[in-house]
Each structure stands twice: as C-alpha cells, then as structure tokens.
Structure 1
C-alpha cells in the first residue's frame, strides 16, 4: 500500500481569524518531543484557544493541543497542552516584544504545518482584537458573498 505523500498537512487556527485583525505574520520553528511529529502527521492537532507569550527573552506557544499517539509508550507521553518553545532569532524576538508592549497587540499561532524540507513550522501572527460589531460585520460580508455565489451558480 503506497502512502499519499501529497497530503496537505497544515492546521489552521480559524478562530484567530474570527477574533482578531491579522496585521503581520512570520514563520518560526517549534520544539517538539517524542511522538508529537507522528501525531501531527495523523492530524491530531488543535490550535483553538492557543496563544504566544514572550517569557524571559524566549518565545513560547501556549495551549497548542497535540494528542499523544495510542502506540506511544505509557511511561513517556508528553503533556498534550504543554508550553512549546518557538525558535526565532534574537532580533525577531526583540522586535515582537517591542510591538506587543508598545502597540498593545497580541501574538497568536495561526498555522502549524510542514515546510518543503519536512520541518514543522508555526506561523505566528501579530494581531489586534476585534470588537463585537466588527465580528458581526465580517459575518454579514461572508454570508452576502456566499449568497451571491449561490445565486450565480443557480442562475447558470
């Protein structure tokens, strides 16, 4: 049985796009333990409610849920929601720290994926929170667009 190599293995944080205005994104590496990469390949990742913090000049992704494999050894199963260190250059971390402290923006992981070299990467976004009326407006725009496409589809 041949494995499907073209399977797109990326996980998006859809809630982030609903709750925040995305201002800028950058790519970072992530430190994983044990069977977490295998779990990712099986699609056992949840980015909902995750966020990024800068703690003592190091950057961490918090609340990323990577479910452990059932085949993993019972004595060594990493905590599923543990803090995972992100790999960025010092200048990038300092730049992010300045933006977060001065501009009052938030850092959130928007995407977790395998790059072309088969390395696990995280897309970190600099985001500003949306107000409730902004969320409602986005929902209206989305439904209007969906209805317009449906009407065009039914017309032809």
Structure 2
C-alpha cells in the first residue's frame, strides 16, 4: 500500500451488522477509501479472481463464516502467488484464542485483531491498521507483533 490516499479495503464477514459497523467506522474517520464487502470466503475468492475488478490493498477477514471459513479462505489466498503481497488482517474476529491466533499466523495472515464492540475503539483500531507501514509488516514474520491492539 504505497499510496495511502487510494487504499482499497475489502471486508469479508457474514454478519451484516458487523459490515455496517465497519463501513460506518471508515466513513467516520473521513477515510475516503473504497470499501467492498463479501459475505463469505467463496465470494471473496471469486471476487479476487475477477480480472475486471481491482485487487484490494488490504483484506479484513472474519474467521467464522458459512460456506468457507476464514481459515480455509486464508489458506487459498496464500496458496496463490498473485495474492501473496496483499495484507490480510486475520482476522476481524470476536475470538482471540491461542489456537486461532497460531493457526492464522501459520497460514500466512499478516496481523490479527479482535472485533471491538465499542465504535470509537473500532475506529482507532482501523486507523492504526490502515496507516501501518505494510512493506515493513509484510517482511516481519514475528508472532510477537502479530496481534494488533489499540
């Protein structure tokens, strides 16, 4: 993400309320980024392979989804060389179990965040994630810096 002014953000989450919460936070931050949404992992993969659409600059991916879980989706994304440099924030999730964190790290996610329930916390977290130096983060494979908090 070289140009922070034209960041294309994609959230994959099966919960409509969470998608709206996310969109409202981006808007409230005055981040005029195009935000796209997918409802499950299969929809995300189909969207990524659609050559008529721009590849997103950053993907937020929920773990617990029907049809294809976030774990399965992440594995598919990382198995395709054309998507290896897209930061995947693993995983916009309400669970922060040690197992989920280790699994997503092992599958190649770039970071892990827990869904905040407070709107201002979500805004702060999204701002922090989007404004990160992803070139540095993509080259840092240390689990100690994997979990992003506010």
Determine if the TM-score, normalized by the shorter chain, exceeds 0.5: no
Tell me which of the two structures has the higher relative contact order, counting C-alpha pairs closer than 8 angstroms and 6 or more residues apart.
Answer: 1
Between Structure 1 and Structure 2, the one with more helix by share is 2
Larger radius of gyration: 1
Between Structure 1 and Structure 2, the one with more strand by share is 1
TM range (shorter): under 0.3
